Amino acid sequence: MTVGSATTDAEDPAAALSAAQRYLTLATVVLGTSLYGTALLTTSTILPQMQGALSATQDEIAWVMTFNILATAVVTPMTGWLVSRFGTRRVAVWSIACFTVATMLCGMAQSLETLVLWRILQGGAGAPVVPLSQSILFNTFPRRQHAMVMSIFGMAVAVAPAFGPVIGGYLAEMHSWRWSFYMLVPVGICATIGMAWTLRPDRLGAKVRFDWTGFVALATALAAVQLVIARGVRLDWFDSTEIVIECLIAAVAFYVFLVHSLSVRAPFVNLRLLYDRNYAIGLVLVTIYGMLNFTPMVLLPALLQQQIGFPDMLVGQVIGCRGVGMLLGFMAAGFMSRIDPRISMAAGFGLQTAAGLWMLTFDLNVTMEILVLNSAVQGFAVGVVWVPITAVAFGTLESKHYAEASSIFHLLRNIGSSFFISLSIAEIVRTAGANYSRMTEMITPYNPALAMPGVTGGWTFDTVPGLASVAKEIARQSMMIGYLNAFMLYTVASGLAVVVVLMVRGRSPA
């Protein structure tokens, strides 16, 4: 199979729709999907303020993001079954409605445990929105317009997340972090009404039996691995009985999932779709895409506010500039859709590699201008990469597989995000602790380097406040080293993606 068209336009279900119906559907779907993206980026901006308000540690507050993404990853594969059981329109409307209610409850949460619970509900409720939106658009527009529609769709969806963190950061600074959730509720109500009004009623076919064995096995494996990554640093990894048990559970559950999926007629996740080479490689690329897309949005707010001292408003502007870069990237992707998608993907991942190398030069004196430019470059690369990845992954599949293939596609994107965020946080905590211990060993009256004139500057070691000030600075420097190590992981993953792009099979000659 190749990236070329697998079916003719006459065979597409979109042939019966008028242009007005198509673009009205596009506008409605964009509004619903924008709500999900805006909630994710806005939440990442206010993580430091929530951490202080809820008296949480850095790795504990990261659960607000990671468990939301994990819940999304677990529920996303259910999209195909939900559509076959209840219909596209009903699933879309109820997903947006429940997502809106969960968002309001997040703003009302009084403890970290309650907030994480509502974030899990928010992630599970919103999980079908993105894959379902993509499937709706694929079935609404002819195949020849898919690249163009994905470009418009992605560009429009990038606008709301670009302004969401800025507005959310302003509201958090002027009032509280709760208003960053409350501001999304009216948008969610409008999106729910819009979905109910524009989407056509479904003609349900034969009901598909839900594969509970595959679902429970996959959910158990994902949850166990997530707990290993999230708690491994605090429990000293395999010296902890809990970590060993969770690894065994993950291994057994994943084995059961694989064996069951390959031996039943209608599995929870149809692994036979992987026989399509470009789709399989597209899944690898979208996993790396998820790793690179969301991780900086979780790491940067904590770094900028807690270690460098930026207010919420400036942190929101940095994240918002990433959204502006995405907008420009999607615009560029529309023009680049005519060339080989491998060139676009290599260029996008190459830019992300360059942005990662740039982040490795950051220190605690980094300026706002550098942060804004770097964030915009990352966003531009994300926008450029998304359209060709989608074109490669779905260009050789039949339309009847779109819903299921799209759910797997976004499942792996969310898994990549969740696991890489937890891995990066774990690396920051591990490195910061190790370097703090090493640097404090050097702060001693017997160190001849500290006795040299001008070396200590304004630091003093002969008073308790002076030692406390030195300890605080050592902690800042240790955390910065941890962030640099996390940025190195980001850079390596970006470079690896460029290599994977070379495995994509190109278009067949006309």
pLDDT in tens, 150-201: 777 766 666 666 667 677 777 887 888 898 899 889 988 988 888 888 777 7
Q: Are 368 and 314 in contact (CB under 8 A)?
A: yes
Do 357 and 487 touch, CB atoms closer than 8 A? no
Give the separation between CA 428 and CA 485, rounded to whole angstroms.
7
Establish if 329 belongs to a structural domain: yes
Instruction: State pLDDT tens for residues 105-147.
Output: 999 998 889 999 999 999 889 888 877 887 788 777 777 777 7
pLDDT digit string, tens, across residues 227-281: 787 777 677 778 889 899 999 999 999 999 999 988 888 788 788 888 888 899 9
Number of domains making up the chain = 1
Q: How confident is the model at residue 1 (pLDDT cuts 50, 70, 90)?
A: very low
Who's near 468: CB < 8 A, 6+ residues apart?
none
Is 61 inside any structural domain? yes
Looking at residue 457, its pLDDT comes to 61
- Asked whether residue 32 is assigned to any structural domain, the reply reads yes
Q: Rg for the chain (alpha carbons), in Å?
A: 24
Is residue 408 assigned to a domain? yes
- Whether residue 443 is contained in a domain is answered as no
Question: What CATH number is given to the structural domain containing 360?
Answer: 1.20.1250.20
Q: Which domain holds residue 58?
A: 9-200+212-435+477-501
Let me know if residue 374 belongs to a domain: yes
- Per-residue exposure over 456-494, b if at least 16 CB sit within 10 Å of its own CB, e if not: eeeeeeeeeeeeeebeeebbbbbbbbbbbbbbebbbebb
What integer pLDDT is reported at residue 350 of this predicted model?
A: 95
Q: What is the DSSP string of 343-398?
A: HHHHHHHHHHHHHHHHHTT--TT--HHHHHHHHHHHHHHHHHHHHHHHHHHHTTS-
Query: What's the whole-model pTM score?
Result: 0.76
Burial of 117 (0-12, 13-18, 19+ CB in 10 A): middle
Q: Are 328 and 384 in contact (CB under 8 A)?
A: no
247 within domain boundaries: yes
Task: Report whether pLDDT(510) > 50.
Answer: no
Q: Among residues 277, 487, 308, which one has the least CA distance to residue 393? A: 277
Tell me phi and psi for residue 361, to 5 degrees.
Answer: -95, -5
List, in order, residues 6 or more apart from 223 with CB less than 8 Å away: 70, 74
Query: Residue 484: inside a domain, yes or no?
Result: yes
| Eight-class DSSP state of 175 | T
Residue 2 pLDDT grade (very low, low, confident, very high; cuts 50, 70, 90): very low
